[in-house]
């Protein structure tokens, strides 16, 4: 209700470059809409596919930085909606699950940017989204350790539920190595998911 009201009062901006919307390309300006193209990235089991909607560079890189580190949550849902409309997931799925944040990060940031993006993806694809299906139960940041240690730390950091028989689409803001998505996929498959694919707004080249 409040957001609907704000949409009427505040002129819409492009969630990537913050510029005016000349024509409405799924809620992006024409120039930013041109950045969207489905990307397939290398993956490994149990993650069946790893996809993104654009490369993590230029204005999109700035927008995601703002969303994560400069308290700009307004970008999240619009970005998810636009990216999933213009470069939709290639894998078939029944349920959208956002990658959870650690409790510390959530407290610091005040919101999970992957959840905001996932709401937009759900709106664009008409598929249900369920945040509670995946939780991060080990807290603290794996980034403090490097390479193989970080990978070992992150595997087993997630717990899943209520996904039996479902094809899950994991949604995140940026995919880099795929280690997070693989750890999430392991937990989801252990809980009986039929398959897990990941889709991110951006892929780090």
Site residues for Zn ion per CB under 5 A: 14, 16-17, 19, 29, 32
**If you ran DSSP here, which 8-state letter would residue 11 be given?**
P
- Give 75 or 136: the residue with its C-beta nearer to Zn ion: 75
Nearer to Zn ion, 72 or 94 (CB): 72
- Helix ranges (DSSP H) in the chain: 2-9, 30-33, 58-69, 74-86, 103-109, 113-125, 147-154, 179-190
CB of 28 to Zn ion, least distance (A): 6
Nearer to Zn ion, 24 or 149 (CB): 24
Single out the residue of 24, 41, 138 nearest to residue 81, CA to CA. 24
Nearer to Zn ion among residue 60 and residue 169 (C-beta)? 60
Q: How far apart are CA 23 and CA 70, in angstroms?
A: 27
> Of 20 and 140, which CB lies nearer to Zn ion in the complex structure?
20
Q: Of 29, 32, 39, 21, which Cα lies nearest the Cα of 88?
A: 39
Of the pair 19, 45, the CB lying nearest Zn ion is at: 19
Closest approach of Zn ion to the CB of residue 97, in Å: 28
* Least Cβ distance, residue 153 to Zn ion (angstroms): 37
Q: How far apart are CA 49 and CA 28, in angstroms?
A: 26
Q: Minimum distance between the CB of residue 63 and Zn ion, rounded to whole angstroms?
A: 9
State how far the Cα of 137 lies from the Cα of 100, in Å rounded to an integer: 10
CB 178 within 8 A of CB 50: yes
Q: Provide the minimum distance between the beta carbon of 23 and Zn ion in the complex, in angstroms, as a whole number.
A: 11
**Peptide bond before 8: cis, by omega within 30 degrees of 0?**
no
C-beta of 35: minimal distance to Zn ion in Å?
Answer: 9
Residue 132 is classified by DSSP as G
């Amino acid at each position: 209700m409040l957001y609907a009201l704000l949409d009427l009062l505040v002129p819409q901006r492009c969630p990537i470059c913050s510029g005016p919307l000349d024509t409405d390309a799924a809620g992006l300006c024409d120039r930013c809409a041109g950045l969207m193209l489905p990307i397939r990235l290398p993956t490994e089991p149990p993650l069946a596919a790893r996809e993104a909607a654009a490369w993590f560079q230029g204005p999109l890189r700035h927008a995601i930085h703002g969303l994560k580190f400069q308290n700009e949550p307004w970008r999240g849902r619009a970005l998810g909606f636009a990216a999933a409309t213009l470069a939709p997931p290639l894998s078939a799925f029944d349920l959208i699950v956002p990658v959870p944040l650690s409790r510390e990060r959530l407290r610091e940031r005040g919101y999970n940017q992957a959840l905001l993006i996932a709401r937009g993806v759900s709106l664009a694809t008409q598929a249900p989204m369920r945040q509670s299906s995946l939780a991060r139960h080990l807290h603290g940041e794996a980034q403090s350790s490097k390479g193989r240690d970080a990978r070992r730390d992150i595997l087993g950091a997630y717990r899943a539920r209520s996904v039996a028989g479902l094809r899950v689409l994991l949604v995140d803001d940026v995919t880099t190595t795929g280690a997070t998505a693989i750890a999430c996929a392991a937990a989801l498959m252990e809980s009986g998911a039929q398959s897990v694919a990941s889709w991110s707004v951006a892929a780090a080249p």
